[in-house]
Amino acid sequence: MEYTTQMEAARKGVVTREMEIVARKEGMDAEGLRKLMAEGKVVIPANKNHKSLDACGIGQGLRTKINVNLGVSNDCCNVEGELEKARLAVELGADAIMDLSCYGKTEEFRRRLVEMSPAAVGTVPVYDAVGFYEKELREITASEFLGLVEKHARDGVDFMTIHAAINRETAARFKKGERLTDIVSRGGSLLFAWMEMNDQENPFYEYYDEILDICREYDVTISLGDACRPGSVKDATDSSQIQELIVMGELAKRAWEKDVQVMIEGPGHMPLNEIASNMLLEKKLCHGAPFYVLGPLVTDIAPGYDHITAAIGGALAAASGADFLCYVTPAEHLRLPTLDDVKEGIIASRIAAHAADIAKGVPGARRWDDEMSAARRSLDWERMFELALDPEKARRYREESLPQDKSTCTMCGKMCAVRNMNQVMGGNTGGGR
């Protein structure tokens, strides 16, 4: 049976090759996965032109996935350096990589990333506009914005952030508010500025049907961007954020009418006590579509440690229903991340995702922890290193401080509770020798 998108196939009762791959990875029934995709509750971002892709599913009942942001900027335009970060991200288990390049002719990096990456690749076409057309922002036309959406789709991008929900009504509500940090979304701020300078509707909203036609042709998943995401804990859950979320729900239904897959992007910065209710609100207003969150960062005072603030919020968000976490590095709010920053961000995000999967009861999530606990009980150090999220760091820490009794560590030595319990439970009561 013929189909154009993964969602259309799912609705026609077809289990695609990508669905089979995802079902096998998740340890679930392929038919059950197909039904969730038909309902829009799971997406498989899989552009027809991304030939190196190893398909990955995002959504209800699946493992929480993580995304890594990369890309060149005006001050740091090193394509090879960003590709090295991409290779590291794949090696460390990232499920998706977003190219957030915002300077010059970005297509070289984007095309090379798509060519080499088995992880899904995402972009934000509006970032590319000023550099690609070599124009001032206000001079770029609606058709030129749409032309970049088609170009990115043709280049093999699997999902695109489209800030379509900041329409004139949403913008008017934002202007009536009293935000501490205004609009902190780069794409959202660009489109808000374009709308204000030209006194026109957001072209991504006005010509949304044309964007859907492009996405349908290449099977690009739309990630509805949250231009009004809170950039401080004070601004969380305000009227602008909720107004935009309502519009996102409407846009999600319009995408599904054309069999285009959709994710919803969310906050941002948010106090711990508001996270669970925000996840519920998104799922209600956006009809169960997969939810993709940046953090959320649960405090604003930790520059240099925002991978930790984001991991705290991300774990709670995912345990409460979020499906996809965007990593945050220690360099957030400060500079472009280095390789070491990328690693720290990925590890923190993977910890948050896995902790949430245990809480959600995702099949198989606890098995990994149980195996680690069994290795610790046996004082099997090699097995512990094999199971560690970061084996290199775990092994290095142990080798930097070796104990006299090699079965223990230098924290407790012969007073090691595990060692002593093993002896006692094994019938050896000879004084802990």
Of 280 and 1, the one with more pLDDT:
280
Q: Tell me whether residue 18 is annotated as binding.
A: no
Pick from 348, 350, 361, 351: nearest CA to 321: 361
Q: Tell me whether residue 163 is annotated as binding.
A: yes
Q: Tell me whether residue 397 is annotated as binding.
A: no
Q: Tell me whether residue 302 is annotated as binding.
A: no
Determine whether 386 is exposed, middle or buried from the number of CB atoms within 10 Å of its CB (0-12, 13-18, 19+): middle
pLDDT (tens digit per residue) in 163-193 = 999 999 999 999 998 899 999 999 999 999 9
- Show contacts of 111-114: CB within 8 Å, 24+ apart: 111/155, 111/156, 112/79, 112/83, 113/70, 113/83, 113/86, 114/47, 114/49, 114/50, 114/52, 114/155, 114/156, 114/157
Q: Tell me whether residue 187 is annotated as binding.
A: yes
Task: Please report the pLDDT score of residue 433 as a whole number.
Answer: 44
Q: Tell me whether residue 419 is annotated as binding.
A: no
pLDDT (tens digit per residue) in 206-239 = 999 999 999 999 999 999 999 999 999 999 999 9
CATH superfamily of 44-360: Radical SAM ThiC family, central domain (3.20.20.540)
Q: Tell me whether residue 228 is annotated as binding.
A: yes
Q: Tell me whether residue 55 is annotated as binding.
A: no
Band (pLDDT 50/70/90 cuts) for residue 66 is very high
Number of alpha carbons in the 13 Å side-chain half-sphere of residue 91: 12
Mean pLDDT of all residues in 396-419: 92
Pick from 91, 151, 92, 96: nearest CA to 125: 151
Alpha-carbon torsion, ordered 254, 258, 260, 262, to 10 deg: 10
Q: Tell me whether residue 195 is annotated as binding.
A: no
Task: Please report the pLDDT score of residue 430 as a whole number.
Answer: 59
Give the range among 151-165, 296-310, 418-432 with minimum mean pLDDT: 418-432
Please report, as a single letter, which amino acid is at residue 328: V
Task: Please report the pLDDT score of residue 52 as a whole number.
Answer: 97
Domain locations along the chain: 44-360, 364-391, 401-433
What is the model's pTM? 0.95
Q: Tell me whether residue 103 is annotated as binding.
A: no
Q: Tell me whether residue 98 is annotated as binding.
A: yes
User: Across-strand partners of 294?
Assistant: 326
Residue 213 has φ and ψ, to the nearest 5°, of: -65, -40
Q: Tell me whether residue 409 is annotated as binding.
A: yes
DSSP 297: B
DSSP 327: -
Q: Tell me whether residue 265 is annotated as binding.
A: yes
Q: Tell me whether residue 287 is annotated as binding.
A: no
Q: Tell me whether residue 350 is annotated as binding.
A: no
Q: Tell me whether residue 226 is annotated as binding.
A: yes
